[in-house]
């Protein structure tokens, strides 16, 4: 699709949390509740942007291959939480010395968006001023923090004044977006990832590249892409 993709590793909140462990739930809960890990994730994102832009201007494989004015960030679950805050969602207690929102990010993609904790939604998301694609499922429960599928729509409802798309995939669970073999075959629907990826590319082409055909597809409900029972909402496009 013509996009350079960088995948971040977050030591302390990555797959090492559950690999080879019997107490997976306890380990995940401890990581989610660790405020230092949350801040470290945001620092990782800021560092990655610093490094990406530095390498783009120096001899190497990235030199001359990126447009620093068209950078998007995407994440699933805790990754979605990370993207939301990099784009300006308020943290309880302030920004803790971080430069947020990071103005270098132009677009966000949220798989299993995370509702705010400790702050009213509209206040929490008041600073978010970048286009967003939200992708969730009708069975997207968060068993660690007790999030219900309807809660995944709170960010979309609370944010206003910027182009947004919400896709709710029928039957998709939280694990369906994770692409983790350990989740088991019962979570796998080979079309969830294809639908999410196609939506993401269509959205990015619309908001980053100004692709008129892609925007028409979004506004018309991406015919032929979604399955029966899926739901798509578009709001605040000019």
Q: What is the pLDDT along the chain (238 residues), one digit of tens a residue?
A: 688 888 888 776 666 665 666 666 666 666 666 678 889 999 999 999 999 999 888 998 888 888 999 999 999 998 999 999 999 999 988 888 999 999 999 999 999 999 999 999 999 999 999 999 999 999 999 877 889 999 999 999 999 999 999 999 999 988 888 766 555 555 556 678 889 999 999 999 999 999 999 999 999 999 989 999 999 999 999 8
DSSP string, the chain: ----------TTSSGGGTTT-S-HHHHHHHHHT-HHHHHHHHHHHHHHHHHHHHHHTSSSTTTTS--TTSEEEEEETHHHHHHHHHTTPPPTT--TT---S-TTEEEEEEES----SSS-HHHHTTT--S-EEEEEEEE--BTTTTB-GGGGGHHHHH--SS-EEEEEEEEEESGGGT--GGG-GGG--HHHHHHHHHHHHHHHHHHTT--HHHHHHHHTT-TTTSPTT-EEEEE---
Pick the CATH number of 69-235 from 3.90.1150.10, 3.40.50.300, 3.40.50.620, 3.40.50.1820: 3.40.50.1820
Predicted TM-score of the model (pTM)? 0.90
């Amino acid at each position: 699709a013509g996009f350079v993709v960088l995948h971040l590793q977050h030591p302390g909140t990555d797959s090492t949390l559950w690999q080879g462990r019997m107490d997976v739930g306890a380990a995940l809960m401890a990581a989610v509740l660790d405020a230092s890990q949350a801040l470290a994730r945001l620092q990782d994102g800021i560092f990655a942007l610093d490094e990406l832009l530095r390498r783009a201007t120096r001899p190497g494989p990235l030199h001359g291959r990126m447009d620093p004015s068209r950078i998007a960030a995407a994440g699933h679950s805790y990754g979605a939480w990370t993207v939301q805050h990099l784009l300006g969602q308020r943290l309880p207690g302030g920004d803790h010395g971080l430069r947020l929102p990071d103005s270098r990010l132009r677009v966000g993609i949220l798989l299993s968006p995370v509702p705010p904790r400790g702050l009213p939604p509209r206040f929490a998301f008041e600073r978010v001023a970048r286009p967003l694609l939200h992708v969730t499922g009708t069975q997207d429960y968060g068993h660690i923090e007790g999030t219900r599928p309807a809660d995944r729509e709170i960010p979309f409802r609370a944010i206003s004044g910027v182009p947004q798309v919400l896709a709710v995939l029928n039957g998709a669970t939280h694990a369906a977006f994770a692409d983790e073999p350990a989740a088991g075959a019962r979570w796998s629907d080979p079309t969830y990832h294809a639908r999410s990826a196609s939506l993401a590319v269509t959205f990015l082409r619309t908001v980053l590249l100004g692709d008129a055909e892609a925007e028409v597809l979004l506004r018309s409900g991406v015919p032929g892409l979604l399955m029966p029972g899926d739901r798509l909402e578009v709001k605040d496009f000019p």
